[in-house]
Amino acid sequence: NAYMELEDKRWYEIIVRVNPKAITVLLDGKELIEQERAGREISIRPEMFMCEPLGVATYATASRLRNLHYRLLDDENQQQDTSDVTP
């Protein structure tokens, strides 16, 4: 777990990529998380079940979404393809 200061009333570009090998999170193009999935069980809190397959949660803050893109990537594009992600 980590905490970071975020500027109020500023939009951030967030990319979350999940593939069979890892979960990767980028904030404004900077990689924050790359978690290998091998040997790990990934789950969600019960209150998030109704949000599957995609949910957004915050802690001690509020959030808004805009220009949201959600898609399944084929095997060839799981690592690099961000062609339809717009800030």
Helix and strand counts by DSSP (H, E) for the chain: 0, 3
* DSSP symbol at 59: S
For the chain, what are the domain ranges?
14-70
pTM for this predicted structure: 0.70
Predicted confidence (pLDDT) at residue 80 exceeds the cutoff of 70: no
Cα separation, 40 vs 24, in Å, equals 15
- pLDDT value, residue 23: 93
pLDDT tens digits, one per residue of 29-60? 999 999 999 999 988 889 889 988 888 888 88
What residues pair up with 27 in beta bridges, in sequence order? 14, 30
Predicted confidence (pLDDT) at residue 86 exceeds the cutoff of 60: no
